[in-house]
A and B are shown apart, each in its own frame.
Chain A
Amino acid sequence: MKAKVYVSLKPGILDPQGKAIQHSVELLGFGGIADIRQGKYFEIALDDADEQQARESVARIAREVLSNPIIEDYRVEIEG
C-alpha cells in the first residue's frame, strides 16, 4: 500500500520561493500566471493492509511530522 502526502502552505502565509519560481516562469515567456505556491510531496510505502488503519497512521504522520499546522495544511491519498 502506498500513501501520498501533499503539504502546502496555508493561504496567507508568505511563499517567497513560489514568487521567485513564478518570476522565472514569466521570464520563460508564460504570461497569465496568477500565482505559484511551492509545496512538498511525500510517498510512504506501508506494510499495513487495512486501508482505514493506514489512513489514520498517515494522517498522524502528516500532522505531527511532515507538516507544521501553524503554517501548513496537508492532504493524504491512499493507493491500494
Chain B
Amino acid sequence: MKFGIIVFPGSNCDHDAYHVISKQVGQPVDFIWHRDTNLSSYDAVIIPGGFSYGDYLRAGALARFSPVMESVKKFAASGRFVLGICNGFQILCEAGLLPGALIRNRDLHFICEHIYVRVETSDTPYTNELQTGSVRRIPIAHAEGNYVCDDETLEALRRDDRIVFRYCDADGNVTAAANPNGSRENIAGICNDTRNVLGLMPHPERACEDLLGSSDGRDIFRSLAATLALAA
C-alpha cells in the first residue's frame, strides 16, 4: 500500500501527516505537489491541514482549481481513499467531493485546543478500528470550521450514517456547550455516500503520540491501513 500527501502552497500539516504515516503507521508515503496529476501509484491520499492559497476568497476555494484536484476527483470516483483534514475538509467541500460548507466560527475566534469528538459510526474505512460511541481527544485549529448544510443534505447524512464524528464533552454527550464552532448538529466529520472520502476538522495527525498529549488520532490512520491491507 502507498500513501500520498498532497501539498498546496500554504499547506502546513503535510509533514505531520507524513510523519504519522511513515513512523506511526509504518507505510510508504510520498509528498505530491499540487501541480502533479499522476496518482496512479497511490492507494490513499491525504489532503492535509494548513492555509492553502492563504485562505484567499474562502478557505479551500482556490485549492479546488489546482491541477491535482481533477485527479483527486477521479481517484475518489474509482473508489480509492481520500482523507481531508481541516483545510483538507474545506477543500473537499469546495470541490464538491463532500456536501455542505465550512464557514467562520460562531464566535469568530481561531480556536486551537484539544476537544472531544464522539465516533458516530465505525462503518467507514477510517473508523473500523474504533468503537461507535467512543470518545477521542483530538486538537482542532481553525477559524472556519462551522459546518453548514441544507436540511435535505443533513437528512441524507443522517439516513446514510455518514456523520462520522461529532463534537462532544469528555463523557461523550453531544451538547451545545461542547460545540466549539457552531457546526450544525455538532458535526466534526462526514464521509461521502460511497464512504471512501472522509473530511474532518480535528487534526488526528497531531494526536498520534502520547508525547504530544494524546494518541487518540492514531487509530484513524491505522483503520485506513487495515482497510488497505485487507484490499491488497
Contacts and interface: CB of A to CB of B under 8 A. Distances in A.
B105 A68 contact: no
B107 A71 contact: no
B148 A65 contact: no
Contacts of B149: 70
Main SS class of interface, B:
loop
Interface in A14-57: 14-17, 20
Interface in B162-188: 182
Contact of A16 (B58, B61, B100, B104): B104
Interface string A1-18: 000000000000111110
Contacts of B73: none
B103 A13 contact: yes
Contact of A14 (B93, B94, B100, B106): B106
A66 interface: yes
A13 B148 contact: yes
Given A20-B108, A70-B149, A65 B61 contact: yes
Sorted nearest first, the 9 A-B pairs with minimum C-beta distance are: A70-B101, A71-B101, A16-B108, A16-B104, A68-B101, A68-B58, A71-B103, A16-B106, A71-B148
Interface of B: 57-58, 61, 65, 93-94, 100-101, 103-108, 146, 148-150, 182
Given A16-B108, A70-B93, 15 more contacts: A14-B104, A14-B106, A14-B146, A14-B182, A16-B105, A16-B107, A17-B104, A20-B108, A65-B61, A68-B58, A68-B61, A68-B101, A70-B101, A71-B101, A71-B148
Interface of A: 13-17, 20, 65-66, 68, 70-71
15 contacts: A13-B103, A13-B148, A14-B148, A14-B182, A15-B104, A16-B104, A16-B108, A20-B108, A65-B57, A65-B61, A65-B65, A68-B61, A68-B94, A70-B93, A70-B148
